[in-house]
Amino acid sequence: MRLSCPRENEVRGLVELGQWPAAADPELSAHVSTCRACGDLVLVSQAFQKARTQTLAAAKLPPPGILFWRAQLRRRNAAVERLTRPLLGAEIFALVAALVAASGFTGFEARHGIAWLTWLDHLGQTGGLHWNALLSTVTPDQSWTWMILLPAFAGLALLGGLAVYLASERQ
């Protein structure tokens, strides 16, 4: 059972407007000091108002422009992160392709011997790199292989390196 006072609404109105006790007549102030319901109402309301005032003073929000800018930045960063996931896959694919090509070239050369390194001897003797010296160490059935494989692997390595560079440059 709640005890209520006939003057409680009057006291509540003054407290809500923030005019208690300055605008209260002396008779109402005397009533609040003797009435338990009105005294509790004033005490609790003033405690809540004081806590609200302290909370509002402590909560200093940054300007809305900064909040909007931060939200835009977070959204942009999330979009960039979503876009870089496929780029990472492309980088890994380019690296794997380059490694497969290099291991294929190494396996091919290991199977056919390392006679292709003899052109280094000719380089030291002639004082420069000449296609004649390079091709003279290759047997006739291997010469077409050199002419196709060397530019193909060089192009693949160049394109793979370019793809990895462009993908990492965008980050």
Question: Comparing C-alpha atoms, which of 49, 15, 16 is closest to residue 32?
Answer: 15
**pLDDT value at position 135?**
53
Q: Does residue 160 share a domain with residue 101?
A: yes
Q: Does residue 94 share a domain with residue 135?
A: yes
Q: Does residue 52 share a domain with residue 107?
A: no
How far apart are alpha carbons 97 and 103 in whole angstroms?
10
**Which domain range does residue 46 map to?**
8-58
Q: Does residue 52 share a domain with residue 16?
A: yes
**pLDDT value at position 85?**
76
Q: Does residue 90 share a domain with residue 48?
A: no
The predicted model scores a pTM of: 0.34
Q: Does residue 99 share a domain with residue 54?
A: no
Q: Which residue has the tokens 């694919």?
A: 93
Q: Does residue 99 share a domain with residue 50?
A: no
**pLDDT value at position 14?**
81
Those residues of the chain that have pLDDT short of 70 are 1-3, 110-147, 169-171
φ, ψ for residue 120, nearest 5 deg: -65, -35
Q: Does residue 95 share a domain with residue 32?
A: no
Output the 3-class SS for the chain.
Answer: CCCCCCCHHHHHHHHHHCCCCCCCCHHHHHHHHHCHHHHHHHHHHHHHHHHHHHHHHHCCCCCHHHHHHHHHHHHHHHHHHHHHHHHHHHHHHHHHHHHHHHHHHHHHHHHHCCHHHHHHHHHHHHCCCCHHHHHHCCCHHHHHHHHHHHHHHHHHHHHHHHHHHHHHHCC
Q: Does residue 99 share a domain with residue 149?
A: yes
Q: Does residue 103 share a domain with residue 51?
A: no
**pLDDT value at position 92?**
84
Question: pLDDT for 2-36, tens place per residue?
Answer: 557 888 888 888 887 777 777 777 888 888 888 88
| Count of structural domains, the chain | 2
Q: Residue 45 falls within a domain, yes or no?
A: yes
Question: pLDDT for 64-78, tens place per residue?
Answer: 899 899 999 999 999
